Amino acid sequence: MPSRKQRRRREKLQRHEYEWVVETEGGEEVPVERPVERAKKDEKSNGSKAVRNRQGRAMPKPSLGRVLRRTAIFGPLILVVVFLTGTKNATIAGKVYTAVVLLAFFIPFSYLVDVFLYRMLQRRQDRAR
């Protein structure tokens, strides 16, 4: 349930009617439909609504590309942690191997967490309908 502040903000946004126009090369203003209305029409045409988290943001479907981007961010951090916490006797190759093994665990685990959260939010949204 939205907070009072969120409800007031939403009411304020709905009070004002703005025209969405596009200028042509001749300088004429052509009205177009609002992006929000277009998104609503797309949702209705697809027959299913986007899965939304508690903040109301649309949660994208889990994808391997998103997981790989996350891995690109955390990979160097894991490598640094392995170098800082590794034993003094370990070789550089051993530390890199340890980091690669940790990343090999991180990639599928991260994808499974995304799938789990997406399905959980989808079920919660279906029950609310």
Instruction: Mark whether 31 and 62 lie in a shared domain.
Output: no
Q: 37: pLDDT confidence band, cut at 50, 70 and 90?
A: low
pTM over 0.85: no
Instruction: Mark whether 30 and 86 lie in a shared domain.
Output: no
Choose the final residue of a domain: 30, 48, 66: 48
Instruction: Mark whether 39 and 60 lie in a shared domain.
Output: no
Rounded-to-integer distance, Cα 74 and Cα 52, Å: 26
Instruction: Mark whether 26 and 67 lie in a shared domain.
Output: no
Instruction: Mark whether 122 and 75 lie in a shared domain.
Output: yes
Question: What is the Cα 94 distance to its own chain's centre?
Answer: 35
- For residues 81 and 116, the answer to whether their CB atoms sit within 8 Å is no
Instruction: Mark whether 115 and 77 lie in a shared domain.
Output: yes
Instruction: Mark whether 82 and 28 lie in a shared domain.
Output: no
Q: What is the pLDDT of residue 38?
A: 53
Query: Where in the sequence is the domain holding 21, given as residue range(s)?
Result: 1-48
Instruction: Mark whether 128 and 90 lie in a shared domain.
Output: yes
Instruction: Mark whether 37 and 18 lie in a shared domain.
Output: yes
Instruction: Mark whether 80 and 107 lie in a shared domain.
Output: yes
Q: 39: pLDDT confidence band, cut at 50, 70 and 90?
A: low
Average pLDDT over residues 9-17: 64
Q: 35: pLDDT confidence band, cut at 50, 70 and 90?
A: low
Question: pLDDT of 66-109, one tens digit each?
Answer: 999 999 999 999 999 999 998 888 899 999 999 999 999 999 99
Mean per-residue pLDDT over the chain, rounded: 80
DSSP bridge pairs for 31: 21
Average pLDDT over residues 97-122: 93
- Domain count of the fold of the chain: 2
CA distances from 61 to 66, 97, 112, 118, 127 (A): 10, 32, 12, 7, 19
Collapsing DSSP states into helix, strand and coil, what is residue 14? Answer: helix
